[in-house]
């Protein structure tokens, strides 16, 4: 009987050992296959996802918000001209500047007083112009009140596209016009008005301008400002589609506001009845001095 018990004991121990070995084998085999006891977490390959399209932020900036996510990325990093104005100019309130409320001297006002959203880059108060020297003592931007009224409309129109007018020059004292004309090489004088009745900048009724986005980045144009070449012509067709569209948008904004464009200079606009105005030779210092004197009670 004792022998039988010993036999049974050995038998059961043998059985248990065999099971343990079996399990161990399954475990080792499971290195490359699913395990029955401790399943190896299966690694599910990530679903194949197309990389997100790289968005052209500036293009998005101008794009009307229609929730459209399928628009392919634009290849260019330069801002594209929106095809149509954004109604309400992203909620910009209508401009309501009261021109009669700002300081006026000989019908000239400082456009900065209007707080209209213009960007001023008065080139002739710096050496960053085609002459290479400053013509003005200060970077004031004076304009006749009649032109100022029109420029408010133009800026309001530009704001509908979320754009801003960049103003390079408006009123130019007649003496500065004379200096400019004399310093201009004879072969380029077709681009500079002779001092006198035909010069509209000294009347304060002509403006040189461009367009920028809301952050102040200039929109590319077919030529630089004051580039006296055929590329400056309003009919030049050799620019990129974007440059041409920007130029035409500027021309549309300005002419719809009531100005006429110079055929050879996409940046130059004047009132249609410029002959009704007279040139002035009030210096910027004089304007500032009179203003200061009048502000003293
Ligand atoms: Zn001009």
Which domains occur in the chain, in start order?
Answer: 1-40 (no CATH), 86-295 (3.30.1380.10)
Long-range contacts of 276-279 (CB under 8 A, 24+ apart): 277/144, 277/146, 277/200, 277/203, 277/204, 277/205, 278/203, 279/174, 279/177, 279/195, 279/196, 279/197, 279/199, 279/202, 279/203
Q: What is the CA radius of gyration of the chain?
A: 37
| Per-residue model confidence as pLDDT tens digits over 100-121 | 999 999 999 999 999 999 999 9
Q: What is the pLDDT of residue 240?
A: 98
- Ligand 1 centre to CA of 123 (Å) is 11
- Ligand 1 centre to CA of 5 (Å) is 119
| Per-residue model confidence as pLDDT tens digits over 232-285 | 999 999 999 999 999 999 999 999 999 999 999 999 999 999 999 999 999 999
- Ligand 1 centre to CA of 199 (Å) is 9
Query: Could you tell me what percent of the chain has a pLDDT over 70?
Result: 67
- Ligand 1 centre to CA of 169 (Å) is 7
- Ligand 1 centre to CA of 76 (Å) is 31
- Ligand 1 centre to CA of 272 (Å) is 14
- Ligand 1 centre to CA of 82 (Å) is 26
Confidence of residue 297 (pLDDT cuts 50, 70, 90): low
- Ligand 1 centre to CA of 171 (Å) is 9
- Ligand 1 centre to CA of 56 (Å) is 34
| Per-residue model confidence as pLDDT tens digits over 160-201 | 999 999 999 999 999 999 999 999 999 888 889 999 999 999
- Ligand 1 centre to CA of 122 (Å) is 12
207 contacts 258 by C-beta, under 8 angstroms:
no
Tokens of 221: 């144009």
Question: Cα dist. 167→87, 121, 157, 235, 269 in Å?
Answer: 24, 6, 15, 22, 11
- Ligand 1 centre to CA of 174 (Å) is 13
| Per-residue model confidence as pLDDT tens digits over 146-164 | 999 999 999 999 999 999 9
Does the pLDDT at position 128 exceed 90?
yes
- Ligand 1 centre to CA of 273 (Å) is 16
Q: What is the pLDDT of residue 190?
A: 86
- Ligand 1 centre to CA of 253 (Å) is 17
């Amino acid at each position: 009987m004792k022998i039988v018990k010993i036999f049974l004991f050995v038998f059961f121990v043998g059985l248990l050992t065999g099971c343990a070995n079996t399990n161990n084998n399954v475990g080792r085999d499971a290195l490359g296959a699913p395990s029955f006891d401790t399943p190896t977490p299966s690694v599910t390959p990530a679903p194949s996802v197309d990389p997100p399209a790289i968005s052209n932020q500036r293009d998005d900036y101008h794009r009307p918000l229609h929730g459209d996510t399928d628009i392919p990325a634009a290849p260019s990093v330069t801002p594209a001209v929106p095809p149509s104005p954004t109604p309400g100019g992203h909620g910009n309130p209508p401009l309501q500047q009261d021109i009669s409320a700002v300081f006026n001297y000989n019908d000239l006002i400082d456009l900065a007083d209007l707080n209209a959203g213009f960007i001023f880059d008065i080139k002739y108060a710096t050496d960053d112009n085609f002459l290479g020297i400053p013509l003005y003592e200060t970077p004031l931007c004076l304009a006749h009140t009649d032109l100022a009224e029109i420029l408010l409309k133009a800026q309001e129109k530009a704001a509908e596209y979320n754009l801003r007018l960049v103003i390079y020059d408006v009123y130019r004292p007649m003496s500065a016009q004379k200096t400019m004309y004399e310093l201009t090489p004879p072969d380029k004088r077709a681009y500079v008005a002779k001092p006198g009745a035909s010069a509209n900048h000294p009347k304060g009724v002509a403006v040189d301008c461009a367009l920028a986005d809301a952050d102040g980045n200039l929109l590319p144009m077919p030529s630089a400002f004051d580039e006296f070449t055929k590329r400056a012509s309003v009919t030049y067709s050799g620019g990129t589609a974007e440059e041409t569209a920007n130029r035409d948008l500027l021309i549309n904004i300005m002419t719809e506001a009531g100005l006429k464009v110079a055929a050879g200079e996409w940046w130059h606009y004047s009132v249609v009845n410029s002959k009704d105005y007279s040139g002035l030779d009030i210096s910027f210092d004089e304007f500032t001095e009179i203003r200061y004197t009048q502000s003293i009670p």
